[in-house]
Amino acid sequence: MKKVSIVGFGRFGKTLYRLIKDDFIITLYDINIISHEGLTKSTIIAKSLKEIYSSEIIFYCVPISSFEDVISKHKKYFQNYHILIDVLSVKMHPAKIFKKYLTNTQALLTHPMFGPDSSKDGFQNLPIILDKFTTSNEIYQFWKEYFKSKNLKVIEMSARDHDRLAANSQGLTHFIGRLLDAYHFEGTLIDSLGAKKLLEVKGQTCNDTWQLFMDLQLYNPYTKQMRIKLGNTFDKLSNKLLPRQINSQFITFGIQGGKGSNNEEALHHFLHQAEIKRFRIKYLYTSRNVLQALYRGNIDRGQFAIANSVAGIVDESIQVMGKYK
């Protein structure tokens, strides 16, 4: 029976152990104390890094942001016969780290697309992503067939393709889940099926650590563009709800300042130049109030000073402009 080590016995380390414990002699290692409860009799709890590498195969179930530190510290134990397997939720990052630190040691890139929550009823048809990376054909075929034998759905793709797709799938889902949590989205007595599904998304994503959320967003090169696209899409959709004109009979202007202010004088000059006859003015006094009224759709157009000939830059306007798009 092959010997396998699992480095990191957190939420996913325990999930991986459930998957493979009946097929290999397992050595576990974690920086925290591991309880013997629920472990097979043949399972070994390593007390040192050296014990980990008595196994031929090593799975790394560590946080994405800790991966390079772990590999760099363990490098001195790597041998040609070792097979290193990462299970990170991003793939280009571990590929880069393996290339940086490995010489003749083989490495396999994987992303099991499941965790303790989604696998609680079994592993049937749950997907796992494989990238052959530097493993031999023989080693790669062994693990490919092994995962199939565990009823997992094996999907083969490059690290780059994985990260591109994952950013708009797992990355987006975790972002939405955390957004719902920050929104304080809670269940009600009248929840529709859609609302219940959103609660499931929130619950599942927030069961994972904040560190995983941060790592998913920061170590996948495609997630930044996903967040920008999501923000732009939100703005476009939200803006569609604003009225084309608050009152069809006249244009509503909101200005910084009150009656007799420089802004009122400037507005009247504009109205004359533009030949606008039907209008109403709301005196909102501050730049913040003007921008807030625009954002909420309470005025059609807003006006405030950024600078004037006497006092120069209007600090209030500059500061508040950074809070609105």
Regarding whether 188 and 98 lie in a shared domain, the answer is no
Regarding whether 288 and 235 lie in a shared domain, the answer is no
User: What are 114-126's pLDDT values in tens digits?
Assistant: 999 899 999 999 9
CATH number at residue 295: 3.40.190.10
Regarding whether 152 and 203 lie in a shared domain, the answer is no
Regarding whether 222 and 256 lie in a shared domain, the answer is no
194 contact partners, CB below 8 Å, separation of at least 6: none
Regarding whether 144 and 58 lie in a shared domain, the answer is yes
Is 25 part of any domain?
yes
**Residue 118 belongs to what domain range?**
3-157
Regarding whether 121 and 11 lie in a shared domain, the answer is yes
Is 246 part of any domain?
no
> Above 80 in pLDDT, residue 312?
no
Regarding whether 304 and 199 lie in a shared domain, the answer is no
Closest CA to 26 of 58, 63, 50: 58
Regarding whether 268 and 230 lie in a shared domain, the answer is no
**Range in 44-53, 118-127, 135-144, 300-309 the model is least confident about:** 300-309
User: What are 63-98's pLDDT values in tens digits?
Assistant: 999 999 999 999 999 999 999 999 999 999 999 999
Domain boundary among 125, 157, 189: 157
Is 64 part of any domain?
yes
Angle at 156 (CA atoms; ends 151, 162), nearest 5 degrees: 115
How far apart, in Å, are the Cα atoms of 100 and each of 63, 95, 161? 18, 9, 21
pLDDT at 311: 66
